[in-house]
Amino acid sequence: MDKYQGEDYLCIKALEDGVNIIGMTRGQSTKLLHTEKLDKGEVMIAQFTENTSAIKIRGRAEILTRYGKLTSGTED
């Protein structure tokens, strides 16, 4: 895992209860790798690796990357 030290990562902060974070695999077919559920105020730090090629976020969350900040979901 040392080869990923210092690589890009995402900070995801749930803005509501029940935000789903879904990691997708890399390879010949894209498959579900891992899921997490965050409640309001919880933060997850995620990183792309040789196994994780995509991250799907379902629900209202603030996402910080080295490219900027964005918000997922819709305001009610």
Sorted by where each begins, the domain ranges of the chain are: 2-72
Show pLDDT as tens, one digit a residue, over the chain (76 residues): 566 555 678 899 999 999 999 988 777 777 777 889 999 999 999 887 777 778 899 999 999 998 999 999 987 6
Burial of 57 (0-12, 13-18, 19+ CB in 10 A): buried
CB 64 within 8 A of CB 10: yes
Cβ atoms < 10 Å from Cβ of 67: 7
CATH number, domain 2-72 = 2.60.40.50
Tell me what pLDDT residue 63 has. 96
Q: Which of 62, 64, 56 is nearest to 13 (CA)?
A: 62
